[in-house]
Amino acid sequence: MSAAPGTRHAPLAVAVLGAGRIGRKHAETLAHRVESCRVPWIVEPLEDVGRACAADFGAKWTSDPAEAIADPAVDAVLIATPTNTHADLIELAASYGKPILCEKPIDLTMERTLAAISAAEKAGVPLQIGFQRRYDPSYVRARKMIEDGAVGKVELVTATSRDPQPAPLAYLAVSGGIFRDCSIHDFDLVRYLTGHEVVEVFAYGAALVDPAIGEIGDADTVVASLRFDNGALGVVTSSRRAVYGYDVSTEVFGSGGKVVVGEAPETLVRRYGKDGVTHDNIYWFLQRFEASYVVEVEDFVACLREGRAPRVTGEDGRAALAIADAATQSFKEGRPIAVAKRPLPAGAGR
């Protein structure tokens, strides 16, 4: 899919699986924001939703993923369906040799996650995971500063994610829990920023926002203490409710200083008065990371055209899930849990 310098690329055809909030966002990016891309198929089980989305982007609609993925005109697949379908769709796309961009997480179980990654590896197709925060300009700059020694030896990491309000209980009941659904972004970020692996987790959780969330065995307010492979410590906190709007921040502290990615206002306007100084705040994640979603899709297309590996891999998806799994187990059992490493292939090391 590469072209000589100065040569215009042939349009890249990416089938979009899922026409919900994120699927529609990705379809719009591919159809209107990425040069020489098109969306030939929208796959969506709800016919009215799928047909409406397909009409908006000049695509065909189907409820059958295999119909779209098997189409010889399809160059790659973007998976934005419910989490419990991700692994099966990755394996299906891999069987047809189609490169894949899949929303996080790969699956809610490690067994299916490993199987999906293995399917892509065996087929020799790129598998990129949708941790869009890695493409945010602030986080990209923060990582470069840390790599260049701005904080010295990393000693302490803190990260926070708070949504403005809980998702519907029906969704939360199948989400895998707050650590897999929400904190997993922070678990990925602390690896991305520091370059170190988390080896142990001790987590607490409580249902302080809505008792019904506790009744389904989940929490809406959590703290996870982390230990890294270099001895550094970390804390990840998450909440399902922040009355002032979406709240994401990260700090990496070390022997030479610290780097902070803070809150993001919606505008740069501040009001000064007798009652103090006020400013607005971004209310939802699609506002905060709108540009990041575009850049991650652009990078997926670029990696295909340039023949390079994705910057966010299946292994990144596995590693973040392993931390989330350990946090979930620690929350349930009240003890520190070691983070599982990826098992070696059968026969390796013998």
| pLDDT reported for residue 8 | 57
The model's pLDDT over 55-90, given as tens digits with 9 standing for 90+, comes to 999 999 999 999 999 999 999 999 999 999 999 999
Is the C-alpha dihedral spanning 76, 70, 68, 80 positive or negative?
Answer: negative
Band the pLDDT of 259: cuts 50, 70, 90: very high
Do 213 and 92 share a structural domain?
Answer: no
| pLDDT reported for residue 347 | 60
| pLDDT reported for residue 264 | 74
How many structural domains comprise the chain?
Answer: 2
The model's pLDDT over 328-347, given as tens digits with 9 standing for 90+, comes to 999 999 999 999 998 866 66
* Residue showing tokens 């292994």: 315
The model's pLDDT over 273-312, given as tens digits with 9 standing for 90+, comes to 898 888 878 887 878 888 999 999 999 999 999 999 999 9
Do 194 and 270 share a structural domain?
Answer: yes
Q: Is residue 270 part of a domain?
A: yes
What is the 3-class SS of 29-95, one letter each residue? HHHHCCCCEECCEEECCCHHHHHHHHHHCCCEEECCHHHHHCCCCCCEEEECCCHHHHHHHHHHHHH
What is the 3-class SS of 224-285, one letter each residue? EEEEECCCCEEEEEEECCCCCCCEEEEEEEECCEEEEECCCCCCCCEEEECCEEEECCCCCH
> What is the separation of C-alpha 210 from the centre of its chain, rounded to a whole number of angstroms?
25
| pLDDT reported for residue 6 | 43
Q: Is residue 315 part of a domain?
A: no
Do 264 and 148 share a structural domain?
Answer: yes
| pLDDT reported for residue 346 | 60
Domain limits for position 172: 134-291+320-338
- Is the pLDDT confidence value at 26 over 90? yes
Do 142 and 110 share a structural domain?
Answer: no
CATH of the domain at 95: 3.40.50.720
Q: Is residue 299 part of a domain?
A: no
d(CA 120, CA 91): 7
CATH of the domain at 148: 3.30.360.10
Do 104 and 163 share a structural domain?
Answer: no
Q: Is residue 308 part of a domain?
A: no
- Is the pLDDT confidence value at 267 over 90? no
Q: Is residue 312 part of a domain?
A: no
Do 117 and 17 share a structural domain?
Answer: yes
Do 138 and 60 share a structural domain?
Answer: no
Give mean pLDDT, residues 14-27.
96
Looking at 106, 125, 144, the residue that finishes a domain is 125
d(CA 83, CA 106): 7
Q: What is the DSSP letter of 160?
A: E
- Is the pLDDT confidence value at 3 over 60? no
3-class SS of residue 12: strand
Looking at 90, 125, 160, the residue that finishes a domain is 125
| pLDDT reported for residue 329 | 98
Q: Where are the beta strands (DSSP E) in 85-149?
A: 100-103, 127-130
Q: What is the DSSP letter of 313?
A: B
